[in-house]
Structure 1
Amino acid sequence: MSALPQSEQTPLLANGRENSQNTSMTNRFATIIKAEGEPSWGASYKSFIFGTYLNVLLIFIPLSFLSHHLHWDAALRFTFSFIAIVPLAKLLGDATEQMSAKMGQTLAGLLNASFGNAVEIIVGVAALLQGELRIVQTSMLGSILSNILLVLGCSFIAAGFKFKESEFQAVGAQASGSFMVLACITLVIPAAYHSTQTTPGGPDGQSTVASIISGFSDLDPSGKAGLLVISRGTAILLLGVYITYLFFQLKTHPDFFEAKDAPEEEEAKMSVIAAASGLLGVTVITSFCADYLVASIEETAERYSIPKPFIGLILLPIVANAAEHVTSVFMAMKGKMEISITICVGSSIQIAAFVVPLLVIVGWMTGHELTLFFANFETIVLFASVLLVNTLIQDGRSNYLEGVMLVTLYLVIALSFWVA
């Protein structure tokens, strides 16, 4: 029996190869959409939306939209938007955690740098574009103080209920603390420059008040230009140092920041693609709620005699850091103090060395003269807080008394800004 001509065999072979390639591409696409062992899309979104009772507060999202567009009372607009951001912050944290669990350390670090403080970035940009430079500065400062004093203090106290003393990697904590000192110094320098450029007492003795309200309205044109150059140049340098810190933490010296006993891996609740889509959707919704919140601050503060610095420094950061508060305390109670330190101090470093410089550069691009100059009182408060935290974490141990110290200092600062 004679063999078939080659022309009659080739189409079958070609079709076989083509089908094989199509099958391979289909499998590759399916792997991207849902990797083997990952939950389905339905299970992912079910866990995302119904995974916690806190999501009951999502009902305030439509209330926030309605109150803004129907021009309800400022207090209602502020309250609805304020409460709506709480579950959104938790969802942002959950989605980021699920995505990070499926990636390498470097990609996870970059992801956390981008989205770990997404609410702070969104609130900051919204306030910046509306010209609320003081809200930008106080909310950023408040986020730093909230993390290193309130959240870390509550974590120490929570751990103290279960353990007489908790231990963590002292070397990594010291490295993070030193970075916070650097970030603090970069805020002291603009304040020092401002004081050298300002006439003592100012016109009619009002220079301090003017500084607090406008940032640098009491400076002459050359002084303003110098302050902008210092702030923008420092912002660029801080971003560069922050990238180096990430490389140090995630690539060259990860053992400095890892627990002695590696925590067990938790089962994934969402697929990577579902987590990414959830992250994008929540970020968009949060941006609207943050915009409505910032837009109502001025009227709310005036009508109900609430100091704007108190809103920016105390109220907004507590909402923005809601997810971190819960996670850090929970990890501390499980004895995973390294994770709590990373969440609290690491998040403060992100704010000081990534988010604040980023907002200064965004302001530069959009024509808003945001600087790194903070009022003398705020600079002293930050320096004292960083000093206390550094003192307490140097030995690599913590107890409930240290937590009480941190929370007490935070309450004193809150009280002082209430009467500011």
Structure 2
Amino acid sequence: MKKLFFPLLIAFFVLSALAHYLHWNTVAQFVISAVTIVFVAGFLGKATEAVAHYAGQRLGGFLNATFGNAAELIIAIFLVKEGLFDMVKASLTGSIIGNLLLVLGASALAGGLKFKEQKFNIHLAGQNASLMLLGVIALFIPAVFVKSEHLSQGDTMTLSVTVAAVLIIAYIGWLVYSMVTHKSLLEDHADTQADHGETAAWSKGQSILFLVIATVMVAFVSEWLVGTLHTFTDQYGMSELFVGAFIVAIVGNAAEHSAAVMLALKNKIGAAVEIAVGSSLQIALFVAPVLIFVSLMFGNPMNILFTTVEIAAIGVAVLIATSISRDGATTWYEGKLLLLVYIVLGVAFFFV
């Protein structure tokens, strides 16, 4: 099967491209793209694991999250250009809660069923918790002040730009803190490292190259797959909020999800946590604020006001994820709790 993996990956990717650009039947496009995303996810998982072998679990997970969010950022920029602000905010909300609940939950559950307890850097867990709370505060304050004090559109945009700038500064500071000044404090220690006992499938250069290629493939296949969903949503009468927050977010991040689970199954929970939590932080502290400035460049300003439902969902996700991950260890039961909260939110969003 291993020998057939790459030929099948290429074959399905080409087939998916043909189905999209030749405008095949929507159901056929959906099925082919869904199968393709499984192979692409496997490729991304292998590339991430190889990079993590050389760079460590944390940097490997960070690169995976960054490349995955870069593709999502590009798609969001096109949506902003078209003025589809509600869909953009819903998809950002979905990415944050999806990573914190679905990805982290599935990783902890899968890894916990194989290993009794999985540990990662406790200092990193504490810093992640603080940053997640900062993201919630930054979304909560503008919504409350604008709605309660009835701020003008101009003041609302000024507040949005200020908050966006603060979040970007906070994220850049976090990168300097975690990657430069306090790198040794946050790296994997002996008690949290997985026992590799294995050699990497590719060289360091090949691993990085394949990670980039896999990410590009993810971007294309995700966009093709998401494009077919509108027909299904119209047919079954689903709301734009539910589609953006759950359907688009799950499909668009499918490869990241599976990569994190694959790493957890190999007792590399540090990389899985970095993909899940690190990706959420990147969305909240960098991607969302950048989109505010991008909208200004297009001359069609987008504010940072999320709906009450979206803020509540993000707040709940951060609360349970912080409670579970702050001790620097995960078990299968904690993973199950995260998934149950995700199911509750999914059902609630469906009826909005």
Report the TM range for the smaller structure's normalisation: 0.7 to 0.9
Q: Contact between 1:78 and 1:300, CA under 8 Å: does it hold in 2?
A: no
**Alignment check: 8 A CA contact 1:181 1:386 kept:** yes
CA distance in 2, matches of 1:104, 1:395: 21
In the alignment, does 2:160 pair up with 1:231?
yes
Structure 1 equivalent of residue 188 of structure 2? 258
Q: Is the 8 A contact 1:109 1:250 kept in 2?
A: no
1:56 has 2:23 as partner: no
> Which residue of structure 1 lines up, in the alignment, with residue 178 of structure 2?
249
Could you tell me whether the CA contact under 8 Å between 1:183 and 1:353 is conserved in 2? Answer: yes
Decide whether the 8 Å contact of 1:151 with 1:329 is kept in 2. Answer: yes
Q: Deviations over 1:216-237 (max 9, x none)?
A: xxxxxx7333332222332222
Report what 2:259 is aligned to.
327
Match of 1:392 among 313, 324, 330: 324
State the partner residue of 2:112: 160
Point out the structure with max Rg over C-alpha: 1
* 1:277 Cα deviation after fit: 5.1
2:233 corresponds to which of 260, 282, 301: 301
Q: How does 1:42-191 map to 2 (within 5 A)?
A: 53=5, 56=8, 59-92=11-44, 94-95=46-47, 98=50, 111=63, 114-191=66-143
Q: Distance in 2 between matches of 1:349 and 1:119?
A: 16
Counterpart CA distance in 2 for 1:169 and 1:299 is 44
Asked whether the 8 Å contact 2:168–2:285 carries over to 1, the reply is yes
Distance 1:102 1:404, change over 3 A: closer
Partner of 2:245: 313
Distance in 1 (alpha carbons) for counterparts of 2:147 and 2:83: 24
C-alpha separation between the residues in 1 aligned to 2:128 and 2:176?
A: 13
Taking a change above 3 Å as real, the CA distance of residues 165 and 90 of structure 1, as seen in their structure-2 partners, is closer
Code of the aligned partner of 2:96:
I
Q: Counterpart of 1:364 in 2: which secondary structure?
A: helix
Structure 2 unmatched runs, 5+: none
Structure 2: how far apart are the matches of 1:119 and 1:137?
Answer: 16
Distance 1:292 1:270 in 2: 29
* Residue among 283, 292, 295 paired with 1:363: 295
How far 1:98 moved relative to its partner?
Answer: 4.5
Q: After superposition, give the CA deviation of every residue in 1:362-413 in whole Å (9 maximum; x if it has no partner).
A: 2222234333221101101111111111122233333322222111000111
Closer, same or farther in 2 for the Cα pair 1:124/1:100, shift >3 Å? Answer: farther
The structural deviation recorded for 1:106 is 11
Q: Is the 8 A contact 1:93 1:116 kept in 2?
A: no
Contact 1:106 1:250 in 2 (8 A): no
Looking at structure 2, the residues matched to 249 and 60 of structure 1 have their Cα atoms a distance apart, in angstroms, of: 39
Identify the residue that residue 403 of structure 1 maps to in structure 2.
Answer: 335
1:12-51 matches, cutoff 5 A? none
User: Percent sequence identity over matched residues?
Assistant: 34
Per-residue deviation at 1:176? 0.6
Tell me how far apart the structure 2 counterparts of residues 120 and 258 of structure 1 sit (CA, whole Å). Answer: 28
In 2 relative to 1, CA 287–390 (structure 1 residues): closer, same or farther, beyond 3 Å? closer
Distance in 2 (alpha carbons) for counterparts of 1:377 and 1:354: 22
User: What code does the residue aligned with 2:181 have?
Assistant: T
**Alpha-carbon distance in 1 for matches of 2:62, 2:277:** 17
Whole-angstrom distance in 2 between the partners of 1:335 and 1:343 = 14
Aligned partners of 1:166 and 1:337 also within 8 Å: yes
**Cα distance, 1:165–1:388 mapped onto 2, change above 3 Å:** same
Deviation of 1:178 (Å):
0.7
Q: Deviations over 1:101-152 (max 9, x none)?
A: 6569998788556414234224323433443322222222112112211122
Query: Would the aligned equivalents of 1:193 and 1:227 in 2 still touch at CA under 8 Å?
Result: no
Q: Tell me how far apart the structure 1 counterparts of residues 170 and 189 of structure 2 sit (CA, whole Å).
A: 25
Contact 2:100 / 2:280 at 8 angstroms: preserved in 1? Answer: yes
Query: Aligned equivalents of 1:114 and 1:98: distance in 2?
Result: 16
Out of 341-350 and 315-324, give the one that drifted further: 315-324
Counterparts in 2 of 1:300 and 1:111: CA distance versus 1, 3 Å: same
Residues 411 and 65 (structure 1 numbering): CA distance in 2 closer, same or farther, change over 3 Å?
same
Please report how far the alpha carbon of residue 173 of structure 1 lies from its aligned counterpart in structure 2 after TM superposition: 0.4
Which deviates further from its counterpart, 297-306 or 133-142?
A: 297-306
Partner SS state of residue 117, structure 1: helix
Instruction: Give the letter aligned to residue 146 of structure 1.
Output: G
Other structure's SS at 2:152 match: helix
* Change in CA separation of 1:356 and 1:328 when aligned onto 2, cut-off 3 Å: same
TM-score, normalising length from structure 2? 0.82
